[in-house]
């Protein structure tokens, strides 16, 4: 019988998301609405290496969710971890992805949401946490509250460069996925970031972001 994570038995609940790396099902845990995030075996990797990567990302995601919460970020409550199956069981956040909401938010609501986004990003960075996949698909909005998810690529780092990489990704996401509101959203996000991190720190991160963008341009093959 296979003992490889993800192959032992189907996940409980209903499938709500099928990603490249993970499947998400919605079910219950001890009577509470719960999400099961399970990293699937990837055929193109050597099995032993694949198992170890999926377990490592699962542990990392659990650790970083806890650390982000300690820094004052809203993130799902962790219920359990099933390491052999590379699965996390966590609170089901009854909200919508910011990516799906952006188009229907009023101007003042969008301004408020992105200012909060910026404040949370700054809080993570000030606490030495890089999110690693900071996009509007990885933020759930419940009322006015923003919950950050998908911490599998997060890292502990105080490097300006790493923090700027987070900002670069959200900037690219806004420009690529929400072009109509990208500039206004970025302005709000940066305002929130500066108010939390302080003007000096914000200016330094912004300078680093510009430098990354310049490097990206020169490196591009036309």
Question: Interface residues with ligand ATP (CB under 6 A)?
Answer: 17, 19-22, 24, 35, 37, 76, 90-93, 97, 133, 137-138, 140, 149-150, 152
Name residue 91's beta-bridge partners: 34
Question: In the set 138, 154, 173, 208, which binds Mg ion (CB under 5 A)?
Answer: 138
Question: Which listed residue (50, 51, 133, 150) is catalytic?
Answer: 133
| Token pair recorded at residue 128 | 């030495």
* 152 three-state secondary structure: coil
Ramachandran region, residue 128 (left: φ > 0; alpha: ψ -120 to 50; beta: rest): left
The binder of 132, among Mg ion, ligand ATP, none, by C-beta within 5 to 8 A per type, is none
| Token pair recorded at residue 124 | 């993570």
Quote the least distance from Cβ 20 to ligand ATP, whole Å: 6
Quote the least distance from Cβ 191 to ligand ATP, whole Å: 26
16 HSE (CA, 13 A, CB side): 15
Quote the least distance from Cβ 221 to ligand ATP, whole Å: 27
Quote the least distance from Cβ 129 to ligand ATP, whole Å: 16
How many angstroms from the chain centroid is the CA of residue 204?
Answer: 23
- Length of the chain, in residues: 222
Nearer to ligand ATP, 5 or 76 (CB): 76
Using CB atoms, what's the residue nearest to ligand ATP?
Answer: 19
162 is catalytic: no
38 binds Mg ion (CB under 5 A): no
Nearer to ligand ATP, 111 or 133 (CB): 133
Residues labelled as active-site residues: 133
């Amino acid at each position: 019988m296979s003992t490889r994570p993800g192959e032992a038995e189907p996940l409980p609940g209903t499938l709500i998301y099928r990603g490249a790396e993970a499947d998400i099902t919605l079910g219950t845990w001890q009577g509470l609405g719960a999400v099961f995030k399970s990293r699937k075996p990837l055929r193109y990797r050597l099995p032993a290496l694949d198992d170890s990567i999926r377990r490592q990302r699962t542990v990392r995601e659990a650790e970083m969710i806890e650390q982000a919460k300690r820094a004052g970020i809203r993130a799902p409550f962790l219920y359990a971890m099933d390491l052999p199956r590379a699965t996390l069981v966590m609170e089901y956040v009854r909200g919508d992805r910011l990516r799906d909401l952006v188009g229907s938010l009023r101007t003042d609501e969008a301004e408020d949401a992105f200012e909060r986004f910026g404040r949370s990003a700054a809080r993570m960075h000030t606490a030495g946490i890089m999110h690693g996949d900071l996009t509007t698909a990885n933020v759930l909005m419940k009322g006015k509250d923003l919950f950050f998810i998908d911490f599998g690529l997060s890292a502990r780092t105080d490097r300006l460069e790493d923090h700027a990489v987070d900002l670069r990704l959200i900037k690219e996401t806004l420009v690529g996925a929400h072009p109509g509101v990208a500039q206004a959203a970025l302005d709000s996000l940066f305002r929130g970031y500066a108010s939390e991190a302080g003007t000096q720190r914000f200016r330094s991160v912004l300078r680093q972001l510009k430098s990354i963008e310049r490097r990206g341009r020169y490196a591009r093959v036309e």
